[in-house]
Structure 1
Amino acid sequence: MPLAEPTDSVAAAAPRPTPPGRAKKFGAAATRKAIPAETGSLYAARRKIQPQAVRGTFRTIKWILLAVTLSVYYLVPFLRWQRGPGEPSQAVLLDLDRGRFYFFSIELWPQDVTYVMGLLILAAFILFLMNAVAGRVWCGYLCPQTVWTDLFLAVERLVEGDRRERLKLDAAPWSIEKLALRTMKHAIWLLIAWWTGGAWVLYFADAPTLVTRLATFQAPAVAYVAILTLTATTYLLAGHMREQVCTYMCPWPRIQGSLTDEHSLNILYRDDRGEPRVSAKRTALLRAAGQPAGDCVDCFACVTACPAGIDIRDGLQMDCIQCGLCVDACDTVMGKLGRPKSLIGYDTEANRRSRAAGGPPVSRILRARTVLYGILVATVGGIMLYGLATRSFVSLSVLHDRQPLFVTLSDGSVRNGYTVRLINKRPGERRFALAVEGLPESRVEVVGGTPEDMPVPSDSTQEFRVLVFAPADTRPDRSVPLTFRITDPATGETAHAQDTFKAP
């Protein structure tokens, strides 16, 4: 694990030196971040972290969000949405064969890639806003790595027991019982990972149909490859790598420092109240003698509960995902001792400094960067909603012939050829009328049809060969711009495209 790296806004909360005997008292987890002074190494040897189960407000929030997010992921492919005859009935579907993305009543074509870009930009601004307000709240509660790691840890506790039992099992020699427990745990992990990969491919084809084809080994080979790949990555990342993904593979811990300031909420230790640390038995004696004694009893409950294995009392660190489990662990201990809670909790560096100086509480959720991010989120979201509400369901593109650019006929008139592509984004066949503007007294012909009746099948595109003639007496002596306009007489919906008419 890397050395704890406080962000610029929390530089004052530098790590405290490890007290003598602390490593001996706490064991491997207390020394996992120790750095040999003689080598100056930035990394320590990898040690397996066995978090302690805790109960409390933040753990309850994490369970609720875990249940909601996993339910959405696993069940959404099976939701139905009727779109009409010949259209897919899956509510959320990325149809690669037809080049469509369906989201309930919304249907996006490849030409609508701007909406995908807008959604990515909106997600980035929302993430920036969340970080400016409450630090790495995304990492601690909603990140897929966190959600699936929590699920895998729950399975591990169910099979092997809580932290003490798992540590004993790790240290115990191999036996039939240990082999059975490990086999059961990894089998459940693989089952969850397999269904995670299976649920992913269901977003790309009709879910009930694909499930049947997968079960009867009639699905495409790419589906099996995708499931095996996602099974392996989920099993490795959530079951074995866990916090290493957040520390080494994810760039967000290194980026979030530039988005956080002294008014951002983060999980912080109230050292003004907790120091100096003494045992619960000595606290009353020291306070009776007029000597300082903090509320922290150095029980390491916050460390054993941390899925990253860090000590939050050493200050804000890059490894911390702000999940709040250390808060629940500490509040439980404080409650048993009859002391005020929130010795560890969400706080700001500005409020911490003000409190240390004897000043009033400081809280500035609304400030320049949060207002800016909020405006950006509202602007991008508003533009996307307006675009979706007003977008056209018909489109037109025109391609001029390259060879020849024009043809001079025997009567002196000039002919230009075009390939016109019409796009019908609605269910049901539509018939369009074509008009060409910009060339007086011109004549339009549609090969194999008429300009007044150009049929386009349901939810598809159709190409037409269009010829435009300029009479000899009014033909231009240079290229002139043309406007091709199509109209749906049934709905009045129109679309247009620009091109040019070439002349000698």
Structure 2
Amino acid sequence: MAITIEIDHAKTRARAAAAAGLPVVPQSVSGRIRRLKWGILMLTLSIYYVTPFLRWDRGDNAPHQAVLLDFANGRLYAFFVEIWPQDLYLVTGLLVLASTVLILTNALAGRLWCGFACPQTVWTDLFLLVERRIDGDRRQRLKSIGAPLTIKRAVRIVAKHSAWLLISLATGGTLIFYFTDAPALVRGIASGNVSANALTWIVVFTATTYGLAGFAREQVCTFMCPWPRLQGAIWDPEAYTVNYRDYRGEQRTSAKKAAELRLQGKPAGDCVDCGQCVAVCPIGIDIREGPNFACINCGLCVDACDGVMSKLGRPRGLIDYESWKNIERGRRSEAPVNRLVRPKTIGLTAACLALAGTITLAFATKTTATLSVEHDRDPVAVRLSDGSLRNAYTVKLLNKSSNPHAYILSVTGVDARLAIIGHDATAPIEVAPDGSESLRVTLTAPAAAQGDVLFTARDETGATVLSARDRFVDR
């Protein structure tokens, strides 16, 4: 059976609101999914606002903020992990892993991230909570649209936008805390001693939060976010997404009319066309029209429908997390089949585990120092007057730890004398914390020789041994 998935948001919004050009004004709803969303909202906001103030002892020469994006010094810190610019391949790996996990989640339950943990969803829910507390629920807010401006309404408008701006300011300010020492910046803001650069970015992020969560809302999820457009490539009919069991709900009729039809032995659907599923939807779509790319899979329509079914004494699940394949099976009066475990999800899970294992191994074997060697290109070898042969190299020692280290440099592989220009070859080479030393090194062989050369640098403790391989050539 061919499936057309609607992506034109304007066609699937509540028709009256769309015709009048009104914004989507979702109604509040209670239920198990709404309670889960409140729990996730509290958890994610707590993590976001608290994390910059967590401390992590890294020694005297390193910052003690647990999570810090120190772009000025080229460092990313996350608790015990420290990433240098040379380690950005690890960040790339983490991004690839996150994308693969997102695709796996989509194969299991559609846009679950969008509906529960996406920052746009979380802050929009928070702004809507403030709006309901001040302006009332959906009916009161719809009445206020276009209503004459009274003192009472003006006070509400000022109170609502003031609360939104305070939340936006806290959000924008907290984001800046991830890029600098949070307690120090708080003290600077309190005393008025803060840089113009920090203030500019706080204003930018505050305005962004205020605009996206306060006004753009469903437009971000439908038009600005690229994820809905990717659904055409990765939409899976076996994924457990929010769907309407039309084989049970149709034909729609009132509860009284349905009872009369059933007494007469005629079919009648469970859907009473109350519109609650549309009223509570933060995107403003009608899930009964079939799969829709704009649906963020938040499940609020499930709570709304379950509440109506409960009042009517009918079983829940008219709208539920269900695979589209099972909807089609239901139309044929077949039993539902759970296919969460299938080749696609097995392959994606294996890919996630392989990526996670590789990244973990890379982090575990990552060193706090590196040694690199570059052979001179012109000339690659020099014949001295006594007949000996000399090759020159640039050796670079990089110390990525917060403590100074001293290294002894040695070579093996060819019978050649090591010399460090401007430095005693037998003396330790001091490298400052978060610093590097570049050395001009020569190898002189008494006769023609050719072969691999292994450069080794050992620190003063003997625990760290760095090595790099190059070539000694005779021409």
Please give the range of the TM-score, normalised by the shorter of the 2 chains: over 0.9
Cα distance, 1:33 vs structure 2: 5.8
Which residues in structure 2 correspond to 1:107-122 (within 5 Å)? 107-122=82-97
Q: Distance in 1 between matches of 2:226 and 2:169?
A: 27
Report the counterpart of residue 295 of structure 2 in structure 1: 320
Aligned partner (choices 80, 83, 86) of residue 105 of structure 1: 80
Instruction: Check whether the contact 1:122–1:377 (CA below 8 A) recurs between aligned residues.
Output: yes
Cα distance, 1:400 vs structure 2: 3.7
Aligned partner (choices 209, 218, 234) of residue 259 of structure 1: 234
Cα distance, 1:409 vs structure 2: 4.3
Instruction: Check whether the contact 1:425–1:460 (CA below 8 A) recurs between aligned residues.
Output: yes
Identical-residue share of aligned pairs (%) = 46
Report the counterpart of residue 5 of structure 1 in structure 2: none
Instruction: Check whether the contact 1:10–1:262 (CA below 8 A) recurs between aligned residues.
Output: no
Aligned partner (choices 321, 326, 331) of residue 346 of structure 1: 321
After superposition, the CA RMSD in angstroms is 2.5
Higher mean C-alpha deviation, range 347-356 or range 53-62: 347-356
Amino acid in structure 1 at the alignment position of 2:195: P
Cα distance, 1:336 vs structure 2: 1.3
Report the counterpart of residue 38 of structure 1 in structure 2: none
Higher mean C-alpha deviation, range 311-320 or range 52-61: 311-320
Higher mean C-alpha deviation, range 49-58 or range 489-498: 489-498
Instruction: Check whether the contact 1:14–1:315 (CA below 8 A) recurs between aligned residues.
Output: no
Q: Distance in 2 between matches of 1:9 and 1:176?
A: 55
User: Quick one: structure 1 residues 14 and 384, their matched pair in 2 at CA, closer, same or farther if it must change by over 3 Å?
Assistant: closer
Which residues in structure 2 correspond to 1:43-442 (within 5 Å)? 46-401=21-376, 405=380, 407-442=382-417
Per-residue CA distance 1:231-256 (angstroms, 9 max, x = gap)? 11111111101001111111111212
Q: Distance in 1 between matches of 2:361 and 2:68?
A: 23
Cα distance, 1:9 vs structure 2: 7.5
Amino acid in structure 2 at the alignment position of 1:281: K
Report the counterpart of residue 497 of structure 1 in structure 2: 468
User: Quick one: structure 1 residues 97 and 171, their matched pair in 2 at CA, closer, same or farther if it must change by over 3 Å?
Assistant: closer
Cα distance, 1:266 vs structure 2: 1.0
Q: Distance in 1 between matches of 2:206 and 2:357?
A: 38
Report the counterpart of residue 456 of structure 2 in structure 1: 485
Cα distance, 1:365 vs structure 2: 0.4
Amino acid in structure 2 at the alignment position of 1:377: C
| Partner SS, residue 307 of structure 2 | helix
Cα distance, 1:29 vs structure 2: 3.0
| Partner SS, residue 145 of structure 2 | helix
Q: Distance in 2 between matches of 1:390 and 1:452?
A: 28
Q: For structure 1, list consecutive stretches of 5 or more residues without a partner in the other structure.
A: 1-7, 35-44
Instruction: Check whether the contact 2:368–2:401 (CA below 8 A) recurs between aligned residues.
Output: yes
User: Quick one: structure 1 residues 424 and 12, their matched pair in 2 at CA, closer, same or farther if it must change by over 3 Å?
Assistant: closer
Higher mean C-alpha deviation, range 248-257 or range 489-498: 489-498
| Partner SS, residue 303 of structure 1 | helix
Per-residue CA distance 1:408-455 (angstroms, 9 max, x = gap)? 544443444433211223332222121123331333335234345122
Q: Distance in 1 between matches of 2:392 and 2:192?
A: 50
Report the counterpart of residue 42 of structure 1 in structure 2: none
Instruction: Check whether the contact 2:410–2:418 (CA below 8 A) recurs between aligned residues.
Output: no
Instruction: Check whether the contact 1:95–1:204 (CA below 8 A) recurs between aligned residues.
Output: yes
Instruction: Check whether the contact 1:100–1:110 (CA below 8 A) recurs between aligned residues.
Output: yes
Cα distance, 1:13 vs structure 2: 10
User: Quick one: structure 1 residues 412 and 12, their matched pair in 2 at CA, closer, same or farther if it must change by over 3 Å?
Assistant: closer
Per-residue CA distance 1:319-345 (angstroms, 9 max, x = gap)? 111100000011111111111111100
Q: Distance in 2 between matches of 1:114 and 1:388?
A: 11
Q: Distance in 1 between matches of 2:210 and 2:25?
A: 17
Q: Distance in 1 between matches of 2:22 and 2:3?
A: 27
Instruction: Check whether the contact 2:14–2:286 (CA below 8 A) recurs between aligned residues.
Output: no
- TM-score where L is the length of structure 2: 0.93
Amino acid in structure 1 at the alignment position of 2:291: L
Cα distance, 1:32 vs structure 2: 4.8
User: Quick one: structure 1 residues 392 and 414, their matched pair in 2 at CA, closer, same or farther if it must change by over 3 Å?
Assistant: same
User: Quick one: structure 1 residues 370 and 33, their matched pair in 2 at CA, closer, same or farther if it must change by over 3 Å?
Assistant: farther
Higher mean C-alpha deviation, range 216-225 or range 116-125: 216-225
Cα distance, 1:470 vs structure 2: 2.6
Cα distance, 1:467 vs structure 2: 2.9
- TM-score where L is the length of structure 1: 0.88
| Partner SS, residue 72 of structure 2 | coil
Amino acid in structure 2 at the alignment position of 1:497: A
User: Quick one: structure 1 residues 13 and 230, their matched pair in 2 at CA, closer, same or farther if it must change by over 3 Å?
Assistant: closer
Matched length: 473
Per-residue CA distance 1:465-486 (angstroms, 9 max, x = gap)? 3232233xx144xx75433221
Q: Distance in 1 between matches of 2:208 and 2:21?
A: 20
Higher mean C-alpha deviation, range 310-319 or range 369-378: 310-319
Cα distance, 1:55 vs structure 2: 0.3
Amino acid in structure 1 at the alignment position of 2:196: A
Instruction: Check whether the contact 1:9–1:260 (CA below 8 A) recurs between aligned residues.
Output: no
Q: Distance in 2 between matches of 1:451 and 1:419?
A: 17
Q: Distance in 2 between matches of 1:31 and 1:294?
A: 24
Cα distance, 1:47 vs structure 2: 2.7
| Partner SS, residue 274 of structure 2 | coil
Cα distance, 1:128 vs structure 2: 0.4
Instruction: Check whether the contact 1:10–1:349 (CA below 8 A) recurs between aligned residues.
Output: no
User: Quick one: structure 1 residues 182 and 350, their matched pair in 2 at CA, closer, same or farther if it must change by over 3 Å?
Assistant: same
| Partner SS, residue 204 of structure 1 | coil
Q: Distance in 1 between matches of 2:429 and 2:305?
A: 72
Per-residue CA distance 1:241-284 (angstroms, 9 max, x = gap)? 10011111111112123222221111111111111111122222
